[in-house]
């Protein structure tokens, strides 16, 4: 997760929201990246999508079984779907996302029993550090701070 945080710290240097991701296979990092939506003007260029594409190319398969994805922010519906389609075994994320989170905040796509693949999900790892990166970025970008920039944990 610390490597995902390092990736997230690189994103603001190019004007991107600080979300980083790392994919691990057999204890080896096989892909790392961060958001590229602004630079590429590609709405699908989320950190998770970048990493999934890199890993599939490296392993020469779209089936990323036996992998763990670490990401600093709870994945959105698009990324949660891609994680399931890629057959990623486990997802670990930092901050919860009450505005677009699809792994427990707004919806919980990975736990939907009607899908044929299950992803083990752990949220809140290095949550404070992940949240602080986002808060600092938005404070700097907007010149103000709002409590809505702070993703809270979902209600239990």
Q: Which residues are catalytic?
A: 48
Give Cβ neighbours of residue 127 (< 8 Å, ≥ 6 apart). 94, 95, 96, 153
Cβ pair 21, 67 in contact under 8 A:
no
Cβ pair 47, 16 in contact under 8 A:
no
- H/E element holding 139? helix 127-142
């Amino acid at each position: 997760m610390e490597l995902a945080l390092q990736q997230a710290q690189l994103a603001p240097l190019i004007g991107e929201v600080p979300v980083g991701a790392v994919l691990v296979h057999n204890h080896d990092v096989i892909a790392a990246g961060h958001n590229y939506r602004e630079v590429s003007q590609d709405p699908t260029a989320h950190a998770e999508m970048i990493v999934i594409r890199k890993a599939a190319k490296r392993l020469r398969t779209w089936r990323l079984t036996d992998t763990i994805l670490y990401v600093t922010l709870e994945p959105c519906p698009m990324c949660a779907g891609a994680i399931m389609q890629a057959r990623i075994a486990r997802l670990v994320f930092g901050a919860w996302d009450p505005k677009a989170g699809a792994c427990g905040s707004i919806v919980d796509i990975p736990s939907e029993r009607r899908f044929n693949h299950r992803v083990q999900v752990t949220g809140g790892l290095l949550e404070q550090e992940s949240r602080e990166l986002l808060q600092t970025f938005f404070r700097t970008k907007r010149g103000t701070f709002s409590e809505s920039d702070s993703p809270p944990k979902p209600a239990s």
